[in-house]
Amino acid sequence: MALPPWAAFLTVVLITAFFLKAIVSSRRRTYNLPPGPKPWPIIGNLNLIGDLPHRSIHELSKRHGPLMHLRLGSLPVVVAASAEMAKSFLKTHDAVFSDRPSFAAGKHTAYNFSDILLPPYGAYWRQARRICAAELFSAKRLELFEDVRGDEVRAMLRGLREASSGGGVVRLRDYLRMATLGVISRVVLGRKYVEVEEDVGEGGSHAPVMAPAEFMAMLHEYFELNGVFNIGDFIPWLEWLDLQGYVRRMKRTAKMLDWFLERVLDEHNVRRRLEGDKFVVRDMVDLLLQLADDPNLEVKLSRDNVKAITQDLIVGAIDTSSNTMEWAVSELLNNPEFLTRATKELDNLIGGNRLVTEKDLPHLSYIEAIIKETMRKHPPAPMLAPHLSREDTSIDGYDIPAGTILLVNVWSIGRDPTSWDAPEKFQPERFVGSKIDMKGQCFELVPFGSGRRMCPGYSLGMKVMALGLANLLHSFSWSLPDGVSKKKLCMDEIYQLAMPRKIPLEAIVQPRLPSYLYTGA
């Protein structure tokens, strides 16, 4: 019996679709992917990622190995969780993984990927990298601002001494953030735009643009939003729904930051016009605006480019440096024997009649060991910023297709028992006399990343952290408040772009040095 016309047509369509699928499948390459958990439909392995993604992924790596494949929504992801794997991705195959994924945070909070951290691989990013290396973070320019760093550290010590006069408890984070904000503001912006009281500078009185609490709340929101796992990034067809409300918050935060940066650039441009031929570069914004006028640049810097790079310079150092110092003091309070050793080194080398200067830092080997051990246990960015493969490649016998996201879990690498003895313990001694550094070539310790995408502000961050921590330990005796023992001191973290303590550290400080050193009298 003959088939009805509609059935015959449907049969032809199904047979055609079957053969087309077979042809496409035969041409599609079969990849030998790294091991990993089986993904669910649509969400992939997103169900396995908890509130602390670095810890969730660490547990998965313990089951599947230091090179692991995940499916987060529709996106393929590989995780490097050992020094050997980090070296393979960030050194051996650095060029292949030098791109960035196009996530919502880069679009909405970084002027559409116009900053230093998140742009795709290409001419603009290469130019921004050269500007950082040759201009913004050159040894000569960092040396020019040595006095600024010293001034802001002394201001922090003075504030802590005043707070200690009544024997009360200080919340260390507040002082650390204001100190690092002061350094970065003066180095990058030329003056403090965030102050409690009016700041009087050259040429007249300049009112602060924003109060500290308001500015810090804005930065906290920025860091949280740049560390979230946004469903729309991993399941693009759901992006328009903004299910978690993150994109709405990103746009609001970006608007606030843009208002602040517009004020900064307007003020700088006014001074440039008023000074005319007598204009001299005083800060990094001046330098960027001058470069924006250069017709010989490969890629012209727009106003948004200048704002995006300036934003990176501000936010990239404040929480990273202050969080690391807060973690370091927390660990030392939990391990008073190491605090005693650090104080002894400072007393022997510095004495009791002066503060620590940057010229002292190369001789303070134990302070350096404390910072390294702190960054091993509490890396500022626990999984670095994500990379993206530009072409197909092979790692350790496995295929990594083009378009795969790379996550380097430096938090996991810092706890790898094949690289570290007793990795869960805080032991600065492991770095005393060690040749392991944090410059991106010792892959057991890469808190700033490595290769082309390594953090360009590494040198400035290290100077701020080392000078700040050394003076905190030299200038004060530290203890926990009554009723708080090291067993009760919470050491939990929050997952953000920079990883802070969940509960800010509160401690009792007592001055150790003559009063005139704090007041500058």
Please check whether residue 440 is in contact with residue 446, taking contact to mean a CB–CB distance below 8 angstroms: yes
CA angle in degrees (0–180, nearest 5) for 410-416-421 = 125
Please check whether residue 469 is in contact with residue 151, taking contact to mean a CB–CB distance below 8 angstroms: no
Asked if residue 490 belongs to a known ligand binding site, the reply is: no
In angstroms, the CA 514 to CA 521 distance is 11
In angstroms, the CA 319 to CA 159 distance is 19
Where do we find the tokens 């079957």? Answer: 18
CB half-sphere exposure, 342, CA atoms < 13 A: 31
Burial 121-146 (b: 16+ CB within 10 A, else e): beebbebbbebbeebbbeeebbeebe
CB half-sphere exposure, 64, CA atoms < 13 A: 20
**Tokens describing residue 136:** 């913004």
Burial of residue 453 (number of CB atoms within 10 Å: 0-12, 13-18, 19+): buried
Please check whether residue 350 is in contact with residue 377, taking contact to mean a CB–CB distance below 8 angstroms: no
Please check whether residue 410 is in contact with residue 379, taking contact to mean a CB–CB distance below 8 angstroms: yes
Amino acid present at 499: M
In angstroms, the CA 254 to CA 237 distance is 24
Burial of residue 387 (number of CB atoms within 10 Å: 0-12, 13-18, 19+): buried
* Listed residue (328, 330, 334, 332) closest to 487, CA to CA: 334
Where do we find the tokens 């001494």? Answer: 161
Q: What is the 3-state secondary structure (H, E, C) of 325-379?
A: HHHHHHHHHHCHHHHHHHHHHHHHHHCCCCCCCHHHHHHCHHHHHHHHHHHHHCC
Map residue 77 onto helix, strand or coil: strand
In angstroms, the CA 423 to CA 102 distance is 35
Instruction: Name the binding residues.
Output: 455
Binding residues for heme: 455
